[in-house]
């Protein structure tokens, strides 16, 4: 049986499996601003003198702020195999429950824009971005809460 190594497509942006899966951001110890994608060099709040940035797990759930349909292959540097047919997917912007910041991501396979409405609650789950012979590249995906497909 072929076993691929599961490797995050981007390191240190998420952690865990199943119900323990979380996006990882950073929080400024001075002004409490939260950043995702994580900011590790300096606080981006212009009114903050700058504090240490510590890693924090982000909310598992949020509400759909906006969404769109990705029906065409994005241009380079997006990595995709031109030999394979393009699989449309829904791309959504989610406002996180606690942090109130907006995080982009794909929906889980099988969920299309027809299934989505602005304000709908979604949760973050581990997903697969791509696979090759040796590696399964993992990412995060959004799933409407209450859907277990």
**Which parts of this chain interact with Zn ion (CB under 5 A)?**
28, 30-31, 43, 45, 48
For residue 131 the two structure tokens come to 């696979």
Minimum distance between the CB of residue 51 and Zn ion, rounded to whole angstroms?
A: 5
Minimum distance between the CB of residue 94 and Zn ion, rounded to whole angstroms?
A: 23
Cα–Cα distance measured from residue 4 to residue 24, given in angstroms and rounded to the nearest whole number: 24
Of the pair 31, 79, the CB lying nearest Zn ion is at 31
Of the pair 30, 97, the CB lying nearest Zn ion is at 30
What is the dihedral angle through the alpha carbons of 87, 93, 98, 99, rounded to the nearest 10 degrees? 120
Residue at token pair 């794909």 = 106
Burial of residue 127 (number of CB atoms within 10 Å: 0-12, 13-18, 19+)? buried
Of the pair 23, 28, the CB lying nearest Zn ion is at 28
Minimum distance between the CB of residue 42 and Zn ion, rounded to whole angstroms?
A: 8
């Amino acid at each position: 049986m072929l076993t691929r190594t599961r490797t995050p497509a981007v390191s240190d942006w998420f952690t865990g499996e199943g119900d323990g899966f979380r996006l990882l951001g950073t929080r400024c110890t001075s002004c409490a601003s939260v950043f995702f994608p994580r900011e590790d060099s300096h606080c981006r709040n212009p009114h903050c003198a700058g504090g240490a940035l510590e890693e924090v797990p982000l909310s598992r759930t949020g509400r759909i702020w906006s969404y769109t349909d990705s029906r065409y292959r994005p241009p380079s540097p997006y990595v995709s195999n031109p030999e394979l047919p393009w699989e449309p997917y829904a791309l959504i912007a989610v406002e996180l429950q606690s942090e109130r910041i907006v995080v982009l991501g794909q929906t889980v396979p099988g969920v299309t824009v027809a299934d989505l409405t602005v304000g709908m609650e979604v949760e973050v789950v581990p997903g697969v971005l791509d696979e090759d012979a040796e590696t399964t590249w993992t990412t995060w995906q959004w799933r409407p809460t209450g859907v277990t497909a």
